Amino acid sequence: MKKILAILLAAMMTATAFAGCGEGGSGSGSGSGSGDNSGSDTSSSDSTADDDSADALVDETGYWVDPSAFGEENNITLKVWAPDKAVSLVKEQIDAFQKHYSDITFKSIDVVAQGEGDAATQLLNDPETAADVFSFASDQLNKLVNAGVISEVAFLNTVSGANDPKTVEAGTVDGALYAYPETNDNGYYLVYDNTVVTADQAKTLEGVLEACKAAGKKFIFDCGNGYYSCTFAFTAGVEIDGLETVGDEQKQKFTDYDPDKAVETLMAFSALMKQYKGTWTSLDVAKIASGFTTATLGAGVDGSWNTVPDQEALGDKFGAAKLPTINVNGEDKQLKSMFGYKYIGVNGSSKFPNAAQILALYLAGEECQTQRAANLGWGPSNLKSQQDKAVTDSAVLKAIQEQSANACAQVNIADTFWSPMGNLGTKLFADDTDPTDKAYFTKLLEETIKNIRDEA
């Protein structure tokens, strides 16, 4: 039971001082494992609130709370991390937040650009100076929880009831919800110029590549980035299966797979790369929108976070589909990908823990999620937002959801996973790789798994 729940219950009952809060809100305990908080009392005797105490302060919208929830926190200073493309919108949302709570004095709420992929690393570097509220990808949750730098969600029942159950489950560790679900779309899909690639050609990788080659256009798939190149291994049957404890360490676990069929699949990918050399390019996804703008690109594998620039570049020529199939020895195999969620977390070292929790609730609520869907193309986790026209009419979100049925969950992933997977893709794409050398690919696959499991 988090101390903040006891604090919020006290606010609801008395609308006066919060137990354990110093001037300006510093010193309040904000969650199990969140570290020392300026000598505040974190004994079990303070944990007297029931599970509904914070939720009782939330109104029918599900994202506004009674102002008494701020307690004595005043002259509030918060820092918020948001991805670069979302900074402007988040600033507008925070302006609305401050206007709603006009009786609360906010000294400043600063929004700083920080990618979700690096949020955990930056937070762990210096929790005391990091953001109070931050966005992050689902695979970073265990790292944050194990380090004790993230607070549990204060409004458990409200958040659990408002969001897709899968996002709530993925944000839960040892029975405690540590993150506010923000999206249900953290994956990638095929984006294409529909004057170059037809909807039927988009169904197969061979069709996409042939269409691009015929039109003199490029196809982008970032083979050197482990986030994307894990597709090669997953399609081959080498899928992740959480973490397992070996001695004192947690190592990546994989499902059982057929080594021969796995190697044959990797060889098929490499063969296509060689067959369509000059068409298949391994570039950062940031190059996709610019490639469409300059009319040099026919298709690429991209994520929902780039929906707006891709659509602006293509206009009426915009096409989207789940990832295609690849033919392996006469069998069409569906490409499998990584799929996860994005969350909003609260720093366990925040000097204004109540304000941080209240702001996180709002930014992760229906109103803000719907705005991000309409303005950024993000797929919401909020159940009501998922019914909004911006979501139901989105070809991108439809494609990503279809692909999610052919994906491994981006949770419980070892830090050692990404680099070896990136190396695997780089080797498949390399000019000097012989796609017919089965022994080479057998060794490459074995070494990839060995390196991921960090086994000498």
Tokens of 231: 């597709």
Helices 87-100 and 353-363, packing angle to 10 deg? 120
- 36-63 in b/e form (b: 16+ CB < 10 A) is ebeebebeeebeebeeebbbbbbeeebb
CA distance 296 to 245: 48
Question: How would you classify residue 414: left for phi > 0, otherwise alpha for psi between -120 and 50, otherwise beta?
Answer: beta
DSSP annotation of 154: S
DSSP annotation of 236: T
The pLDDT, as a whole number, for residue 5 is 53
Could you give the count of Cα atoms lying within 13 Å of 247 in the half-sphere of its Cβ?
5
Residues 6+ apart with CB under 8 A from 223: 229, 273, 282, 425, 426, 428, 429
Q: How many residues does the chain have?
A: 456
Residues 6+ apart with CB under 8 A from 409: 138, 170, 339, 340
Three-state SS at 397 = helix
CA distance 184 to 410: 12
CA distance 356 to 80: 9
Same fold, 3-185+341-392 and 186-339+400-452: yes
Give the class (CATH, top level) of 186-339+400-452.
Answer: alpha beta
DSSP annotation of 52: T
Digitized pLDDT (tens) for each residue of the chain, 456 residues in all: 344 555 554 444 433 333 222 222 322 222 222 233 333 333 333 332 344 688 999 999 999 999 999 999 999 999 999 999 999 999 999 999 999 999 999 999 999 999 888 888 899 999 889 999 999 999 999 999 999 999 999 999 999 999 999 999 999 999 999 999 999 999 999 999 999 999 999 999 999 999 999 999 999 999 999 999 999 999 999 999 999 989 888 899 999 999 999 999 999 999 999 999 999 999 999 999 999 999 999 999 999 889 999 999 999 999 999 999 999 999 999 999 999 999 999 999 999 999 999 999 999 999 999 999 999 999 999 999 999 999 999 999 999 999 999 999 999 899 899 999 999 999 999 999 999 999 999 999 999 999 999 874
CA distance 252 to 244: 6
Three-state SS at 22 = coil
* Closest listed residue to residue 362, CA positions, set 184, 152, 180, 132: 180
Sheet architecture: strand order including 318-321: 280-281, 218-220, 297-303, 188-193, 318-321
The pLDDT, as a whole number, for residue 27 is 29
Answer yes or no: are the C-beta atoms of 151 and 348 closer than 8 Å.
Answer: yes
CA distance 40 to 46: 11
The pLDDT, as a whole number, for residue 41 is 34
The pLDDT, as a whole number, for residue 455 is 75
Amino acid, single-letter form, for residue 15: A
Domain residue extents for the chain = 3-185+341-392, 186-339+400-452
Query: Is 3.40.190.10 the CATH number for 3-185+341-392?
Result: yes
Residues 6+ apart with CB under 8 A from 7: 18, 19, 20, 21, 28, 49, 71, 354
Q: What's the pTM?
A: 0.84
Answer yes or no: are the C-beta atoms of 298 and 212 closer than 8 Å.
Answer: yes
CA distance 184 to 416: 25
Could you give the count of Cα atoms lying within 13 Å of 208 in the half-sphere of its Cβ?
29
Tokens of 382: 């909020």
134 bridge partner residues: 81, 345
DSSP annotation of 199: T
* Closest listed residue to residue 328, CA positions, set 176, 418, 435, 246: 435
* Distance from chain centroid for Cα 287: 21
CA distance 168 to 175: 11
130 bridge partner residues: none
Amino acid, single-letter form, for residue 358: I
The pLDDT, as a whole number, for residue 47 is 31
